[in-house]
């Protein structure tokens, strides 16, 4: 006999409406001004519907990121054929995002991942910067710009760690921070 789910059935239409409303409001107002009340009103659902499926604002935003509805332009480094230039461009964009309100988003995602490890695992699994960076590094290996023997996962973790650290300290990055970071990691 199949097991039946207890509690209310999750409506896919409501889930998508909530995620799309969250993405729209995030783009318009930023993370700090995003509220559960605003999301509910924009999605035409009750606040209780949101809380039934997501425990916090950061959990909804994490799902938006996973679904590719938010910030996709920041997740993947460009591939112009010049690895250093591409990584510097990528890091400049991320550091600029952090300085323009994105740091609070990153801090809340870190907090959500600490409170609910499944959020962190899901973010890493579905939109892991390491995978996106690894694809760029594979292209650099093929072009002879990066050694295939270098540990790409550690390379990606160094960038992610720097991003999180910049978000946590919430101080403006030095003008040449992206260049210095890329040079330190590239060696």
Half-sphere exposure of 58 (CA within 13 A, CB side): 21
What pLDDT, on a 0 to 100 scale, did the predictor assign at position 129?
61
Asked whether residue 52 falls in the same domain as residue 108, the answer is no
| More confident position, 100 or 130 | 100
Q: Specify the 3-state DSSP secondary structure of 87.
A: helix
- Does some domain include residue 49? yes
- Does some domain include residue 63? no
Q: What is the CATH number of the domain that holds 21?
A: 1.10.10.60
Chain length of the chain: 187
Find the domain containing 140 and state its range. 71-186
Asked whether residue 107 falls in the same domain as residue 180, the answer is yes
pLDDT at 78 over 50: yes
Asked whether residue 154 falls in the same domain as residue 106, the answer is yes
Asked whether residue 99 falls in the same domain as residue 154, the answer is yes
What pLDDT, on a 0 to 100 scale, did the predictor assign at position 35?
95
Asked whether residue 52 falls in the same domain as residue 76, the answer is no
Q: What is the CATH number of the domain that holds 130?
A: 1.10.357.10
User: What integer is the mean pLDDT of 44-73?
Assistant: 86
User: What integer is the mean pLDDT of 60-65?
Assistant: 85
CA–CA separation, 51 and 111 (whole Å): 18
- Does some domain include residue 65? no
Asked whether residue 93 falls in the same domain as residue 132, the answer is yes
The total of structural domains in the chain comes to 2
Encode burial over 94-106: b for 16+ CB neighbours within 10 A, e otherwise. Answer: bbebbeeebbbbb
Asked whether residue 18 falls in the same domain as residue 78, the answer is no
What pLDDT, on a 0 to 100 scale, did the predictor assign at position 171?
81
Query: 124-183 pLDDT, tens per residue?
Result: 765 556 677 888 888 899 999 989 898 877 888 888 888 889 989 878 889 999 999 999
At residue 143, what are phi and psi to the nearest 5 degrees?
-90, 0
Asked whether residue 28 falls in the same domain as residue 100, the answer is no
Going by the DSSP 8-state scheme, the letter that residue 67 receives in this structure is T
What pLDDT, on a 0 to 100 scale, did the predictor assign at position 3?
46
Asked whether residue 169 falls in the same domain as residue 83, the answer is yes
Nearby residues of 171 by Cβ (< 8 Å), 6 or more positions away: none
What pLDDT, on a 0 to 100 scale, did the predictor assign at position 24?
93
What pLDDT, on a 0 to 100 scale, did the predictor assign at position 14?
93
């Amino acid at each position: 006999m199949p097991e039946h789910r207890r509690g209310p059935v999750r409506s896919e239409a409501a889930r998508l409406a909530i995620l799309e409303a969250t993405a729209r409001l995030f783009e318009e107002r930023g993370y700090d001004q995003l509220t559960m009340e605003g999301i509910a009103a924009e999605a035409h659902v009750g606040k209780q519907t949101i809380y039934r499926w997501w425990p916090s604002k950061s959990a909804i935003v994490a799902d938006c990121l996973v679904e590719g509805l938010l910030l996709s332009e920041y997740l993947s480094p460009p591939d112009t054929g010049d690895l250093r230039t591409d990584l510097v461009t990528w890091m400049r964009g991320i550091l600029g995002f952090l300085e323009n309100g994105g740091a609070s988003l990153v801090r809340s995602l870190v907090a959500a991942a600490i409170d609910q490890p499944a959020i962190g695992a899901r973010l890493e699994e579905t939109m892991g910067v390491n995978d996106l960076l690894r694809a760029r590094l594979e292209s650099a290996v093929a072009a002879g710009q990066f050694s295939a023997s270098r540990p790409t996962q550690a390379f990606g973790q160094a960038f992610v760690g720097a991003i999180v650290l910049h978000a946590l300290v919430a101080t403006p990055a030095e003008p040449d921070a992206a260049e210095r970071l890329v040079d330190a990691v590239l060696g």
